[in-house]
Structure 1
Amino acid sequence: MADSQLIQIIRRLDAMRNDRTGNRQRRTFEQFGIPVCEVTYIRDQDEFIYVRFRPHERFRFDDLDLVAIEVFNCLYDFRNTF
């Protein structure tokens, strides 16, 4: 059985948090090959910055689960507009 989309998002975000190669880690999340949102993890502040491209929104989260839910909702909304 394949992992749910939410678990895949959580794994990507957790990998960002666990990567020690730099202070900032950035990941772009796409749907149908189109960038939909972006998450940047800032190690010094233990904080995620979530940016949704349409409509443009920007939020800060200190909880991995909350940013994962935002990414999931963003991808879901985009996927279901077509």
Structure 2
Amino acid sequence: MKSSKLVAILKRLDAMTETTETEVQTRRFENEGVEKCLVSYDPATSTFELTESGSQEVYQFDDIDFVAMEIFELLDA
């Protein structure tokens, strides 16, 4: 059985939220070496900010599940 891409995304996002750092955490998400989005987590506001690499559109999320689904869709496209 193949491992879940969604679980891997959630683990990376969860690691961003569990840090004791007060600085904004940032992660790149790629598919086959092509960056699809950049995600930042601000511990001060407990929010995620997702920037699509192609369109440079920015989205904000306060729910880890919603940002994970958006990343999954971008990686699967």
Q: Identify whether the pair has TM-score above 0.5, normalized to the shorter chain.
A: yes
- Using the TM superposition, give the Cα deviation of residue 23 of structure 1 relative to its aligned residue in structure 2, in angstroms: 2.2
Residue 23 of structure 1 aligns to which amino acid in structure 2?
A: E
Which runs of 5 or more residues in structure 2 are unaligned? Answer: none
Tell me the equivalent position of 1:16.
Answer: 16
Alpha-carbon contact 2:22-2:44 (below 8 Å) kept: no
Corresponding residue for residue 47 of structure 1: 47
SS of match in other structure, 2:50: strand
Q: What is the correspondence of 1:25-64 to structure 2 with a 5 Å cutoff?
A: 25-64=25-64
CA RMSD of aligned residues (A): 1.1
Runs of 4+ in structure 1 over 6 Å off: none
Q: Specify the alignment match of 1:80 in structure 2.
A: none
Post-superposition CA distance 1:33-64 (Å, at most 9, x none): 11110100000000000011112211000000
Sequence identity percentage? 36
When the two structures are superposed, what TM-score results if normalisation uses the length of structure 1? 0.87
Name the amino acid aligned to 1:22. Answer: T
Residue 2 (structure 1) shift: 4.2
